[in-house]
Structure 1
Amino acid sequence: MIQSIGSNRVLIISLIAWFIAQTLKVIHTLIVDKRFNAWRFVGSGGMPSSHSAFVMSLSTSIGLIHGWDSSIFALAICLSLIVMYDAAGVRSAVGKQAIIINKMIEDIHNKKQKKVTEQRLKELIGHTPVEVVAGAILGVIIAYLMI
């Protein structure tokens, strides 16, 4: 069973696309923020979307192997669209809400000079549409290169 999973080309390509996207996030942070942030290897949000790269490499690999008219491709592309919509929509909105809530906590703390016990919320959760599209393109390219 483990050997079968380890030889699954579609899974391997998808994992490689995810890894490349996560590595690009570290490089992007290094260039833009001029600092190395190892958490970008595993963190969500940022450029490019590793979720999009993962699911689009999955969909593209399945389409190339099983055909663009196969049911399994239809399932994979539907999953990809849901994941990418969520990354750019719902998770992005949650990140914006976290920024506002964190600012409110900071304001309360500053006005009352009391220690606010609430923890800061993670703000980098979702993606901009550009980050999602970049991740999707990356995933498609990696799948085409590796099939």
Structure 2
Amino acid sequence: MTFIKALAGNFPLIAASVTILLAQLVKVPIVFITQRIWNPQLGFSTGGMPSSHSAAVTSLATAIGIQEGLSSVAFAIAVVIAAITMFDAQGIRRHAGIHASLINRLMTTGDRVETDGYTHKALKELLGHKPIEVVVGALFGIVSSLLIYGLFYY
């Protein structure tokens, strides 16, 4: 029971965990409102608005900043990890998704590419984020931690 009590009292861990879940869940109504498509699977997928990775790492950094102070080593580490994560989400992962889309199109056209026996299964295309999705995710994470702290830990 002490282990569970310790976890429940770990504000940064709770804030980041709740934030990533909320960011994933909010993707479903956002797509419904903007595209009129109801797809609950979006709550379990990568990519889309907002970036749950960005939300989680900024939530974690914010919570650590609140708890440990903005001059703490833990806050500095969290900010650097958040910056790297957000850069990768809108850079490398987004480009991997674009490449997957092009490969999928190439493999479904009449022009076949030599595959050396490889049987193509469609690659996942929604991997990364547009910069706006990363920014909104980051803001979502900061606000989420502030609200969780104010409601449950203050």
TM-score, scaled relative to structure 2: 0.87
Picking from 56, 59, 65, the partner of 2:58 is 56
> In the alignment, which residue of structure 2 is the partner of 1:113?
none
Q: Unpaired runs of 5+ in structure 2? A: 113-117, 150-154
For residues 97 and 79 of structure 1, the distance between their equivalents in structure 2, rounded to whole angstroms, comes to: 26
The residue type paired with residue 140 of structure 1 is I
> In the alignment, which residue of structure 1 is the partner of 2:95?
93
Post-superposition offset of 1:13: 0.9
Picking from 99, 105, 108, the partner of 1:106 is 108
> In the alignment, which residue of structure 1 is the partner of 2:139?
137
For residues 71 and 92 of structure 1, the distance between their equivalents in structure 2, rounded to whole angstroms, comes to: 31
Moved more, 25-34 or 69-78: 25-34
**Seq. identity, %:** 39
For residues 138 and 128 of structure 2, the distance between their equivalents in structure 1, rounded to whole angstroms, comes to: 15
For residues 126 and 69 of structure 2, the distance between their equivalents in structure 1, rounded to whole angstroms, comes to: 36
For residues 101 and 136 of structure 2, the distance between their equivalents in structure 1, rounded to whole angstroms, comes to: 24
Q: How does 1:1-147 map to 2 (within 5 A)?
A: 1-108=3-110, 117-147=119-149
Q: Unpaired runs of 5+ in structure 1? A: 111-115
Q: What whole-Å deviation, never above 9, does each CA across 1:65-96 have from its counterpart, x for those lacking one?
A: 11100000001111101110110000000000
For residues 88 and 82 of structure 1, the distance between their equivalents in structure 2, rounded to whole angstroms, comes to: 10
Moved more, 2-11 or 55-64: 2-11
Moved more, 1-10 or 47-56: 1-10
Moved more, 125-134 or 2-11: 2-11
Equivalent residue pairs, number: 142
TM-score, scaled relative to structure 1: 0.91
